Structures are given as structure tokens and as C-alpha cells.
Structure 1
């Protein structure tokens, strides 16, 4: 038998367009059609529409496709604002009305909860904010395309590693979204244009930062051109040759730390200041983040005598705001770098009733440390997509009266909700979505559990 690996054949797909009736929407917003005992998921098709589509993937029972013509449009269809929407993977729902997007995301959350046999007593009104120009954090791909003899800057094409050719981005903060074409032209003039694979974008309340990742040392002429460009656009420019935090400031000569402010009460008269690095995790949508933090404080019904546990606490986004309303916050985070930055932010805001602890919340040894043996009145969970199921058993003895769970993945929220309800005897008082990522299939949600 030959030891050579068989070369995988490229799948042959039908070239002609196929007509389909869209009977439903998938959880990520793709149209669903049934053709010859096969379920087909079709990009940019809406429920109730009749479309022509071309196959992009074809298997025995399941296929994928992309709509190329809308024969009968849904009332929920709108004209995408982005000229590159047909190709760009940065958004997937711009063809769908805002109300339909919200309904889709709400249905995704409630269906996941129902699937796990946990039904909220109340469905919260969706938390809404700006639909364009909202994105303050992004990683843009950069590639010199020889056939086009130019550099492309942007998000990757849908289901592809290629960079989308676009002149602007409607969802990025305007300080970056409106200069994509100029940015690409600038890089195209560099000697090292083939050695800059990505740009990190970070927008704070005080400035917009671009971090240029480069694979080889940049010539002085390239450094000068990048410096001139960023200065002309009022941008702070860093160069990154190594690790994410290994940054070299190019312009200006001195730059203050990036920061954003969070109101700590509904009248927004007082606020806290959160400093961060461009590579740090922060919420991409500051308008929703501000309201999310205030709503969390409200749902926890914090009192001056309360002790609070904040798990997956990051930079202190929730912890420091909650500390203004309670006796003490114990905040636990799995990144030592983030713990140090959270402590810095506490000092920056003269907040002394917080303790930031480094512990891997997915490690059994960490779940036996002293902080797990304390009693807490209220608990906040804000885990990554994988959820918090590993840490839930240690909450049993804490006997907190209220738990607020902030989630970026409805499936793991629903799984964990079933544990909280069925094994820890909590009631799911309320749940709802927060439109953190308009025009995408990403769902941010919040759930409130009470004893």
C-alpha cells in the first residue's frame, strides 16, 4: 500500500443557480431550504423568500449556498449599508431589518433555554444601542495582492482566508472605518508591505490606536511614512514585532494610556476610569457596555452591606463599578496580567474595597482556594464562550441570594442555567439579550437567578 497521502480532491459544485423557497432561519441567520431530501443553509436569504442560489458546499444530507438573486423578497429585507456586504465576513445580517435581527437573537436565547428545560419567569427587553460605528476593537487583516498590485485591509471574506476588498467599514468606529482605503494606500507604498499581516484597532474615550504587526524590521523610510500617515489622521501608532504586549510607540513621542469611563449610577454624575492596552480584552461596544454594567448593578440590587464575588473579572469592568455600591468585591481572574491591571485600575480610582485574585477557574486546585470557602451575598459570572460549568459546584456553599450571569454564547448559558436551577436550587427570574454586535450572529445575553 502506498504511504503517500492522497491529495484531497477539490469538490465539484454545480455551476448553475438553483431556485429555493426559504422556510426558516438558522440560529446564525442563514436561510434554510429543503431540496431533494437535503437541508441547505443559504447565506443572505430570509424566511419566506424565493431565491436563486449557488452551492458553496455540498454533502449528502446537508449543503450550503449563497443567494445570488432574490426572486421574491421578504418584508424584513433591507438594503445593506456596506458596499462589500456580499463578500465580507465582518457582518452577516445587514440585509435583515433591525427588528428581525433582534427577534432572531431573542429566539436563539429562548430556544437554547427551552432546550435545557429552563424557562425565565420574565423576558427582559433587549438592550439596544448604535447599529453602525459601534465597534471600538477589531483585528484587521492586511495582504498585498500581486494580481491587483495593491494592499487590501479589512476583515476576511466570508468562509475564506482572503481579505475583503473595501474602501470603508460601516461598523468600525469612524476614526478607522472611514479611512480603510487611505490606510491600504499608505501600506501599499511601504517597502515592507508584504510583511505586515494585521492591524490591531483599539478606540478609547481619549484616542484611537493602531498597532501594526510586522514580521521583519521596518526600514526607516517605512517608519517615517507610517508616522506621517497616523499623525495626519490623529492616530496613535504602535509597532509590534513580538508578543501582543511587546509594543513600540511610533507616534506621538509620548502617549497617555488608553481608557474608557464607566458611569456607576443611573444619573451618570459619577464615573470610574478603566485603563487598558490595545491588546487587552474589552467590550467592543462601549455604549452597550455602559448600560450592561448599570443593569447588572440594578439586577443584583446591591446594598452597602453586601459582599460580592465577581468571577472572570478581567480588567475590573464590573468589579470596580460594583464596589461603589457594596461593602466588598472579591474578583477572580485567570490571567495574571489582567489581575495586575485590574489592581492598577482600582488604585487609579481610589477604590480600596476590592480584592483581585489570580486563579484558573477551570483548574480543580484553584477551586479549593480560600476564596471559595467564603460566603457571598451576590455573585456575578462573566465567562468566555466555554461557560462556567466547572466553577458552578463551588457556588453551592456560598448561598448567594442573587446570581447574574453575563454570556457571549447562549448554548453554554443555557447549559449552566440548567445546573443552577436543577442542582443549586436557583430560579431563573429573568433573561434577555444585549445587542453588543449589531449585524452579526453573535448573541450577548444576561440572566438573573435568585434563591
Structure 2
């Protein structure tokens, strides 16, 4: 039987090599663009196959040795075997392909990619925990690749070094607790003044658990919080009054407090550069009225307000809206910002019109994109539409190239906008996750 050979053309959204053999698409784990490989099929469907590399016959000059010893077993990273420059190039191609194949449009200009530190960048993470009685120990880490099992890890290269070094101690701590079989997750949040570990517990802590938790926190200089049910049950355990979590944006003289389970960008280094790029594209001016949709805790709202513009932020989470108000007051900007809680996935043309005119928009949606918001803009072909409610400029920050491309297609083909520029943001090095930014301007 002949061993099948494939030429890898690109990477897919999971970081697998994409090849075409006899007209059939083959997704090959471990293959890199430009490589020729033999492969072993794992799953065969009518119009595609899922496979893994057996042998690399022609090596990519961008292939590199993964730095993490857990790579290949742990599912946290997908492309450590590809040089960072190659990772960004692959993500840029994925973004361009999505624009064309989904949105039927192309950016007039591709922006330089935004880079940052490749290791130790991940300041937010959810680590799985599993007590394995048969093995007599505790596992703490990310899921294994393509399974629901917890990877047996003792370090992690993408976590900050001081958190990575804590993984063996976390295992030891969990093993001492009465709730070790009812503790499925430890959520990590790193701020500029403190590090918080949130123990997700499904049974009440006992009196005997207090001493080992306090000893762990004191020894390693972290705060321990607990969560028994939903987000509203997250609370500090020890110490009861720590310095708290916060991050800063020195370029805009801003500081943001946050709770450990509230959404913040996982990569604070890239967040600062991304904000600078967004402000350069948006060009906020004093006297303008600007909307920040999916505003979260005000990550973009407050830098926009620093320009002197009046900013309206809209967000679906009541907790994040409250945090946004807190941050505005802390930074002396409460007079320039207004926040409203609303489900933006239920936006209508009537509701959008009721918000009044905005000169510009900043849109930063979750993975599902902003289709209902975009569709609520006046249609360029509708002579009776209230075009005054269409902003002249839209900066769209995306964590999913396919939904960005879909929304770009609507903006360009139905709403009268040009896609002036776009580029990738390498927010998550060594993963296939594609973060990007795009600039639209009304014709």
C-alpha cells in the first residue's frame, strides 16, 4: 500500500495544515505551509479527511523546536513548531482569505501586524483540575489535545513565569483539601499589583482546609478567591483584603480595577499596542460623539474620552457596566462618558436610531461578531433611511476572522462603507487564534 503524500498549502483555524489530495481537502495535524509530508488518516469523511503527519519529506524553513515540553499533549498551544513570524504570516493569510471567501471584499491596505512577547504573556487562564485516585495525585493544566482529559503538566511557557512555577504547588495544595474531588478548575488572573487564584469548588470548604490555603497564599504571595456557583459567588477567601487586581494604560494615564473572573484582555502588552493602533485609526477629536459598542469595562472607552470626545458605551453585562462606571470615576472621566446596559445581539434599526447620531464607532464584539448591530445601520439603497445615524468611520476589533469578514461584507455591499485597512494582532502567540482590527469609512 502506497503511503499518501501531501503538500501543505496553509493552516486552518485550529492550526492544522491544509492540503488537497485528488480533489479532497486533508487537514493534517503537525504540517506547516510549504512542507511536503506523508500522513496517517485519523477520520475520513465524504469531502474531507483529518490526519496527522507521519514524516516530513520537505521541511519548512520556519519550522522550529517547541520550547514547551508539554507541546503536542497539552491542547493549550497548536503551533509552537512554527516560528512566530510564520505564525503571524499564516494568521494574516487566514484573515485575507476570510475577507474574500466570506465577505467578498478585500482591504485596500494591509496594516503591519502587531507583535509582542511570545512567552509568559497570558495573564488570564482557566486551568482544569482533576483528582485521580488511582494515580494517587492531582492534575492541574489545560485539556489534552482534542480530548477532555487534563494534561499532566508541571509548567506552562505561555503563563507568566511566577504562575507557571506554581503548578506543582497547586497540585500539592489541592491534594491536601477536603474538596479535592469537587474542585474542577483554578482560574488565574494576574494584575500589576497582585495575582489571584480562584478555586472553583462544588462542595463547602471545611475548617481543615483553611490552614493549607493560608500557608499557600502566604508562601507564594498570591490571593485565593473561591467560586461556588455563578459569577456572583466569586469572593476573596484569603487574605480578606488584598491589594486587588488592576491594569494600567500609561500612554493614556489610565488605571482599571477588575475582579478575577471579569473579562479583560489576556495579553496586557499587546492590549497597549492594540489601543494605540485603534486610536490612530479612529482619530477621535474633541467635540465628537463616539460610540463604543461591546465596551466591557471601558478598555477602549476611556482612551477615546481622553481625546476630549464624548463617548457612549454599550455592553450586555451589568457587572461590566458597573465596573466601567467605577473606572471612569477613578480616572476623572465620568463627565465625558455614558454607559448603557443592553443586549447588542438584539439591536434593531429603531433602537439604534433612538441612540442619536454618532460621528464614529468602535466595535469590539465577542466571537459571534456584531451582525445585528451592523444590519441596523441604514441601507445605502434605502432613500428613506435616516442616514444621519450612520457613522463616518468604524473601527472594528475582532477575535474571529470569519464573523469579521461576514460583517465586513454587509458594511461594504449594503451599508455604503469602504474597507480601508485591516491587519492581525498576535494576541495569542503559539495558538491558531486570530485577533484583528479593521477600518471602515462611509463612502
Deviation at 1:256, TM superposition (A): 3.0
Aligned twin of 1:271: 253
Distance between the aligned counterparts of 2:110 and 2:24, measured in 1?
35
- Residues 429 and 60 of structure 1, relative CA distance in 2, 3 Å threshold: closer
Deviation at 1:253, TM superposition (A): 3.1
Which of the numbers 2, 6, 9 marks the counterpart of 1:24?
9
Aligned twin of 2:382: none
Aligned twin of 2:216: 229
Deviation at 1:83, TM superposition (A): 0.6
Deviations 1:61-94 (A, max 9, x none): 4222333554543211100011110111100010
Is 1:170 aligned with 2:161?
no
Aligned twin of 2:185: 198
Distance between the aligned counterparts of 1:222 and 1:195, measured in 2?
13
Which deviates more, 85-94 or 18-27?
Answer: 18-27
Which deviates more, 180-189 or 163-172?
Answer: 180-189
Which of the numbers 400, 413, 433 marks the counterpart of 2:424?
433
Aligned twin of 1:9: none
Aligned twin of 2:407: 416
Distance between the aligned counterparts of 2:39 and 2:105, measured in 1?
38
- Residues 61 and 401 of structure 1, relative CA distance in 2, 3 Å threshold: closer
Q: Is the 8 A contact 1:22 1:31 kept in 2?
A: no
- Residues 164 and 20 of structure 1, relative CA distance in 2, 3 Å threshold: farther
Distance between the aligned counterparts of 2:377 and 2:308, measured in 1?
20
Is 1:344 aligned with 2:326?
yes
Aligned twin of 1:141: 128
Q: Is the 8 A contact 2:314 2:342 kept in 1?
A: yes
Aligned twin of 1:383: 365
Distance between the aligned counterparts of 1:164 and 1:22, measured in 2?
31
Which of the numbers 336, 354, 358 marks the counterpart of 2:341?
358
Which deviates more, 57-66 or 87-96?
Answer: 57-66
Distance between the aligned counterparts of 1:224 and 1:22, measured in 2?
58
Deviations 1:96-120 (A, max 9, x none): 0111101100001111112222111
Aligned residue runs from structure 1 range 279-428, under 5 A: 279-351=261-333, 352-364=335-347, 368-369=350-351, 372-396=354-378, 397=387, 398-428=389-419
Number of residues of Structure 1 aligned to a counterpart in Structure 2: 430
Distance between the aligned counterparts of 1:371 and 1:285, measured in 2?
35
Distance between the aligned counterparts of 1:198 and 1:152, measured in 2?
11
Aligned twin of 1:98: 84
Q: Is the 8 A contact 1:20 1:33 kept in 2?
A: no
Which deviates more, 215-224 or 123-132?
Answer: 215-224
Aligned residue runs from structure 1 range 58-207, under 5 A: 58-67=44-53, 69-115=55-101, 116-207=103-194
Q: Secondary structure at the match of 1:391?
A: helix
Distance between the aligned counterparts of 2:320 and 2:2, measured in 1?
51
Deviations 1:379-433 (A, max 9, x none): 1111111111111243333232211011111111111111111222111111001
Distance between the aligned counterparts of 1:106 and 1:17, measured in 2?
35
Which deviates more, 20-29 or 126-135?
Answer: 20-29
Distance between the aligned counterparts of 1:149 and 1:56, measured in 2?
33
- Residues 401 and 288 of structure 1, relative CA distance in 2, 3 Å threshold: same
Instruction: Tell me: higher relative CO, structure 1 or 2? Use CA pairs within 8 A at least 6 residues apart.
Output: 2
Distance between the aligned counterparts of 1:159 and 1:17, measured in 2?
28
- Residues 423 and 51 of structure 1, relative CA distance in 2, 3 Å threshold: closer
Q: Is the 8 A contact 1:231 1:251 kept in 2?
A: no
Is 1:41 aligned with 2:32?
no
Deviations 1:223-255 (A, max 9, x none): 321221122111111111122231232222312
Deviation at 1:30, TM superposition (A): 1.1
Q: Secondary structure at the match of 2:279?
A: helix
Which ranges of structure 1 fall in alignment gaps of 5 or more residues? 1-15
Q: TM-score, normalised by structure 2?
A: 0.92
Distance between the aligned counterparts of 2:344 and 2:328, measured in 1?
22
- Residues 364 and 307 of structure 1, relative CA distance in 2, 3 Å threshold: closer
- Residues 133 and 371 of structure 1, relative CA distance in 2, 3 Å threshold: farther
Distance between the aligned counterparts of 1:145 and 1:68, measured in 2?
32
